[in-house]
Amino acid sequence: MTGQEYVFAVLALVGTISAIRLVTAKNVVHAALYLVVTLSVVGGVYLLLAAEFVGWVQILIYVGAIVILFLFGLMLTRAPIGREALDNQQRGIAFLIGLGILGGLVYLIQGAFSWSGPRLRPSVGTTAQLGQSLFRQWVLPFEAVSFLLLAALIGAVVLSRRDDRP
């Protein structure tokens, strides 16, 4: 095994443990911190695959912005953060949806990779191709998510504000 494969094995182990702890955490803040670890590991895997742009975007945007916004919204709204916030009786439906998502991901991964010899090799793409695809096809969904996050932040501020007027 090469050094890169050892690093990948460590990242895979850390990512798997943190992802399992993310969905089994009994505290929302702890779950958000496990999400930070999981997303950081994903960024590390991108860096390991020599996709530096995607790796740093993953770390900066998801770890640095989305999770912080999530924690900020939790603290501003004074939402319950203990066991009562995460106790949901729809585990069966969630399991079925998770299996459906897993099936879709397996299908997409099989289509994105081609077999050449004994190793799996990803299809090659450049940062320029990624940028063109992002700004031609995905600008509207990207901006819609940005607007949704801004609305959530404004809503958290409005809900947390004390209105002392009669």
pTM for this predicted structure? 0.58
In a domain, residue 145? The reply is yes
Question: According to the per-residue pLDDT averaged within each range, which of 4-18, 73-87, 125-139, 144-158 is highest?
Answer: 4-18
Asked if residue 161 has pLDDT above 70, the reply is no
In a domain, residue 55? The reply is yes
Mean pLDDT of the chain: 78
In a domain, residue 73? The reply is yes
In a domain, residue 41? The reply is yes
The 10 Å Cβ neighbour count of residue 69 is 15
Structural domain of 18: 3-87+125-160
Q: Is the four-CA dihedral 62, 66, 72, 73 of positive or negative sign? A: negative
In a domain, residue 99? The reply is no
Band of residue 86 on the pLDDT scale cut at 50, 70, 90 = low
Q: What's the domain count of the chain?
A: 1
- The H or E element that residue 119 is part of is strand 119-122
55: Cα within 13 Å, side-chain hemisphere: 11
pLDDT tens-digit map of 31-51: 888 988 999 999 999 988 888
CATH number of the domain that residue 33 is part of: 1.20.120.1200
The residue with tokens 């009994």 is 26
Is 54 within 8 Å of 130 (Cβ atoms)?
yes
